[in-house]
Amino acid sequence: MKKIGVIGAGSWGTTLANLLAKKGQEVTLWAHEADGVLEMKKTRVNSLYLPGIKLSPHLCFTGDLEEAVSGKELILAVTPSQVTRAVLGRALPHISESAVIVNASKGIEVETLLTMSQVCAQILPPSMLGKYCVLSGPTFAREVAQEMPTAIVAAAADKRVSLTVQETFSTGYFRVYTNSDVIGVELGGSIKNVISIAAGISDGLGLGHNTRAALITRGLAEMARLGAAMGSQPSTFAGLAGMGDLVLTCTGDLSRNRTVGMKLGQGMRLGVILGEMRMVAEGVKTTQSAYNLARRLNVDMPITEKVHQILYEDKPARHAVMELMSRDLKSEET
């Protein structure tokens, strides 16, 4: 049994905390909203983010960040990527230097264009950097909460850390693979949300399965190009954190980012769409950071560029599709 602190009680944080508690780990889940803490203590349900799922009687809840992380052997951060720096920074003085830090957030920081491991490299002391691990892959929280068979990746520079995370999280329905390509796994989990918005736009426009398949395939090429520029392994993008997560997010009805894209394709304004959503669609912010990162590194990412124009420059979705199709002809190998 490990003492584990989970930071973030959205759908994914609640699901992973519940998985660990059901497995027999000693888990404390921190929620930002005081009302959510009270509800979960009283009813054992997170009705806002994971309605209908009964939570383990062994799972503990708190609104006190210090209480959530103090004395814990493993810290799981599942906050929106744009606030990870601030929230983890607040928690850091209370985290043991021997604790393993696992990040399950997917995104690239807008202001710095850093992945979450790069953010942690700036805020964690050197003694803790070697204990960082990213958890990513094709997962819808509700399906995991319902114990549907799922596979995911734990990536760490130190093999011992990824093996610890693999052993801690694996169950009969939740299979964890290890990987050493931290940046590649993080990029896969981030860029797939951008491509998912594009796939949703295509579906919202009624463009059919051919178009969606092309977007997924060429989106994977963009992901791999950016990964190559940042030193990632090509094989990572053919795996669970790359192709696996990309296919799920671009095709599944539970995908928040695809839902945003579909509504854009149907003519709704972005502000209205986001105003109707309680949960965060990471791809909206990640589109901005991915677009700027690609420009900084001189990486060709035309789908990302068009999604950026639709989200932030009010380009009509149909015009963006036409421009993608009329680009200069080229080899698939480039």
Residue where the block lists tokens 């949703």: 200
**First CA to last CA across the chain, in angstroms?**
49
Q: How far apart are CA 200 and CA 215, in angstroms?
A: 10
For residues 236-246, average pLDDT = 98
For residues 181-192, average pLDDT = 98
CA-wise closest residue to 174 among 121, 199, 138: 138
Kind of pairing, strands 132-136 and 100-103? parallel
How many whole angstroms from its chain centre is CA 252?
A: 15
Question: What is residue 278's predicted lDDT score, i.e. its pLDDT?
Answer: 79
What does the mean pLDDT of the chain come to? 96
Question: What is residue 168's predicted lDDT score, i.e. its pLDDT?
Answer: 98
How many whole angstroms from its chain centre is CA 5?
A: 19
Which residue ranges form the domains of the chain, and what is each CATH number?
A: 3-180 (3.40.50.720), 183-325 (1.10.1040.10)
Dihedral (CA of 294, 198, 183, 225) sign: negative
For residue 279, pLDDT over 90 is answered with no
Which residues are 46's β-sheet partners?
Answer: 50
Q: Which residues contact 100 (CB under 8 A, 6 or more apart)?
A: 73, 74, 75, 131, 133, 161, 164, 165
Which residues are 175's β-sheet partners?
Answer: 151
For residue 281, pLDDT over 90 is answered with no
Q: How far apart are CA 140 and CA 46, in angstroms?
A: 16
Tokens standing for 233? 């392994």
| pLDDT band at 100; cut points 50, 70, 90 | very high
For residues 19-48, average pLDDT = 97
Q: Among the options 72, 131, 192, 285, which is catalytic?
A: 192
Within 10 A of 113 (CB to CB), how many other CB atoms are there? 18
For residue 294, pLDDT over 80 is answered with yes
For residues 177-186, average pLDDT = 98
Q: 244-269 pLDDT, tens per residue?
A: 999 999 999 999 999 999 999 999 99
For residue 334, pLDDT over 80 is answered with no
Question: What is residue 37's predicted lDDT score, i.e. its pLDDT?
Answer: 97
Question: What is residue 173's predicted lDDT score, i.e. its pLDDT?
Answer: 98
For residue 209, pLDDT over 80 is answered with yes
The answer to whether the beta carbons of residues 188 and 108 sit under 8 Å apart is no
Kind of pairing, strands 150-155 and 132-136? antiparallel
For residue 45, pLDDT over 80 is answered with yes
Phi and psi at 210, nearest 5°, equal -60, -45
For residues 284-312, average pLDDT = 97
Q: Is residue 192 flagged as an active site residue?
A: yes
Kind of pairing, strands 3-7 and 74-77? parallel
For residue 277, pLDDT over 90 is answered with no
Q: Which residues contact 243 (CB under 8 A, 6 or more apart)?
A: 220, 237
Q: Is the pTM of this model over 0.85?
A: yes
Residue where the block lists tokens 């990486």: 299
